[in-house]
Amino acid sequence: MSVFFGFPPKTVTHQGKLVFAQLMLYLPLSTFRRCVADHRGEHKVKDFSCLDQFFAMAFA
């Protein structure tokens, strides 16, 4: 049994976009905004927009 000191032996840095960001690129924002406007989704919204809420729910 070998013991690794300083595990992980090599630090790998993140390169590129996260998978979630890549998936969100396919979201047609014009269609999303039109649906929000049609259903008055932003009525009386102060801080947390419909798009922010969608991103949070999609990420979860």
Domain ranges in the chain are 18-29+48-60
Residue 36, CA distances (Å) to 5, 9, 14, 50, 51 in order: 54, 49, 34, 7, 9
Residue 38 is predicted with a pLDDT of: 97
* Own/partner long-range contacts of 12-20 (Cβ < 8 Å, ≥24 apart): 20/58, 20/59
Consecutive H or E run containing 57: helix 50-59
- Model confidence, pTM: 0.68
What are the pLDDT digits (tens) for 1-59?
556 666 666 666 778 888 899 999 999 999 999 999 999 999 998 999 999 999 999 99
Residue 16 is predicted with a pLDDT of: 85
